[in-house]
Chains A and B, each alone.
Chain A
Amino acid sequence: MRYIQLIGLVLFSTVVQAQTSGTMQVHLEVLPRVLTVSVSSSQLDFAQQRADAGNVMLDPATGLVSGKSSGTHALGEVIVRGPAKSGFLVSVEQTVQLRQHGSDDGVDFTPLWAQSEGCHQGAFALTPARRGTGTLGADGCAALRFGGTIQLWGAAQGRYAGQLAVRIAPL
């Protein structure tokens, strides 16, 4: 009930002349759709890959990573809540350069995201555009997953790190 809040409650009452008379006026103002974002995971990890693994995809719809990897991979995940069936915007950057600490070596990362309409179903659908709109389910909830692709063509061995900005706004 935080989405629709009572902004002003103005009570006008004249001097009570009798116990049965009185005037009450209530002003209600509805605030615009407010979203609540819960972070389930803010770490996105391709696990360990061969330096010549080529195009490696961490699919946000299936949760699977292509290519042979060792270790545990991880997807970014958030839950968005708001009024049922309302729309919201999601924008992510086109590409992000992952950098090796202390060197100029880099790996290009292209983000992808998927959403499930409602939070009680397991199916995620890949969103074709990196920037786009999502829709909250009938339960007023949507789960978003973030993955992407990296290009490993003879990359130097080591750890690469970067930061991805995801922007979410009511539609």
Chain B
Amino acid sequence: MVRSFLVLSIIGILACQAYGQAALSVTPAYAVVTNEVPYGAFTLYNAGTEGVEVTISARYGAIASTDSTTAVVLDEAGQLGDLTKHVTFFPDRCILPAGGEQIVRYRINTVPEGGHIALMHFAMQERGAIVNGQVPAVATGLSIVYNLVAPLVYLQGSGIPILTARVLESTPNTLHLYLESHGPWPFLGGIRVLQDGQQFGRAEAAVYTTRLVRIPVHQDLEKRRVQLQFDTEYTGLPRSIQRILGVPSSIELTW
């Protein structure tokens, strides 16, 4: 009995000494607002076992693609305007204890007509330090700042996105497309692949500037000729915003 108690005590001590972690999530993963309701909020939640300091900032940029990769691109967003000049948010820094939640509210001020974007950065950083002492040669230390990035899109007025597309690759199961936006209005919605009026597949995408899109198709597109049709149904996008977003013209593609 005494031995069992001792073993349990040791396990308890080890468990208490286990390394804690912060676990940050940001909801929603993106936001689209309009001049009718030019404000909103992100909710930060720490599901981890340790507190974390989060610094919030807005950077101009977009999620964009080349022929081979998609990435967070800063300081350029095609014809979308720079929302960082017009957005105010609070707080810009907070400490989230384990299990803690923080609401970050934002408001958009007067903006010219068109689509505008900011990439909201939620940065977590441990407060580590390089150990001081005698150095025989070269010692390096980098602190890594991990940023969760959430696009914040603002629409002043309404307009129709102008898209072009090309086929990068077609396999029996997947159509790989490269979409490019040529106007000041972003596209968020569904892309449907049709051949002779029959739908072969659909995928959702947000096209701010350029975007690789992989559309699962349930039949081989042997004719190498398809029509792309667009809709504004995009996961998490409120219907009130879907109504404002324009639907691009359909695109005929051959390859």
Chain A residues with CB under 8 Å of chain B are 2, 5, 29-51, 53, 70-71, 76, 78-79, 81, 89, 91, 96, 98, 107, 109, 129, 131-133, 146, 150, 152, 155, 157-171
Secondary structure call for the B interface = strand
Decide if A163 touches B142 in the complex (CB within 8 Å).
Answer: yes
Beyond the given A34-B28, A49-B140, A98-B140, please list 10 additional residue pairs across the A-B interface where CB-CB is below 8 A. Answer: A29-B238, A35-B25, A38-B23, A42-B128, A43-B126, A76-B144, A158-B138, A162-B142, A162-B143, A171-B70
Q: Using known A-B contacts A91-B71, A131-B72, A169-B150, determine if residue A42 contacts B139 with beta carbons closer than 8 Å.
A: no
Decide if A157 touches B144 in the complex (CB within 8 Å).
Answer: no
Decide if B145 touches A165 in the complex (CB within 8 Å).
Answer: yes
Q: Which residues of B contact A132 (CB under 8 A)?
A: 69-71
Q: Using known A-B contacts A32-B235, A34-B27, determine if residue A42 contacts B146 with beta carbons closer than 8 Å.
A: yes
Q: Using known A-B contacts A39-B52, A76-B144, determine if residue A47 contacts B69 with beta carbons closer than 8 Å.
A: no
Answer yes or no: B162 CB below 8 A from chain A CBs.
Answer: no
- Which A residue sits closest to B28, measured CB to CB? A31
Q: Using known A-B contacts A2-B45, A129-B69, A131-B71, determine if residue A32 contacts B142 with beta carbons closer than 8 Å.
A: no
Q: Using known A-B contacts A29-B238, A46-B140, determine if residue A170 contacts B29 with beta carbons closer than 8 Å.
A: yes
- Which B residue sits closest to A130, measured CB to CB? B71
Decide if A98 touches B25 in the complex (CB within 8 Å).
Answer: no
Answer yes or no: B38 CB below 8 A from chain A CBs.
Answer: no
- Which A residue sits closest to B133, measured CB to CB? A159
Interchain residue pairs with CB less than 8 A apart (6): A32-B30, A42-B125, A89-B63, A96-B142, A107-B138, A164-B142
Closest 5 CB pairs of A and B: A32-B236, A131-B71, A169-B149, A38-B23, A36-B25
Decide if B137 touches A167 in the complex (CB within 8 Å).
Answer: no
Contacts across chains A and B counted by CB atoms under 8 Å: 188
- Which B residue sits closest to A71, measured CB to CB? B139
Determine which of B22, B137, B142 lies in contact with A161 in the assembled complex, contact meaning CB atoms within 8 Å.
B142
Q: Using known A-B contacts A40-B21, A167-B149, A169-B63, determine if residue A48 contacts B70 with beta carbons closer than 8 Å.
A: no
Q: Which residues of B contact A157 (CB under 8 A)?
A: 135-138
Chain B residues with CB under 8 Å of chain A are 19, 21-30, 45, 47-48, 52, 63, 68-73, 121, 123-126, 128, 130, 135-151, 235-238
- Which B residue sits closest to A107, measured CB to CB? B140
Determine which of A34, A166, A170 lies in contact with B146 in the assembled complex, contact meaning CB atoms within 8 Å.
A166
**Nearest chain A CB to B214 CB, angstrom units:** 9
Decide if A39 touches B27 in the complex (CB within 8 Å).
Answer: no
In Å, the complex CA distance between A131 and B144 comes to 16
Decide if B23 touches A42 in the complex (CB within 8 Å).
Answer: no
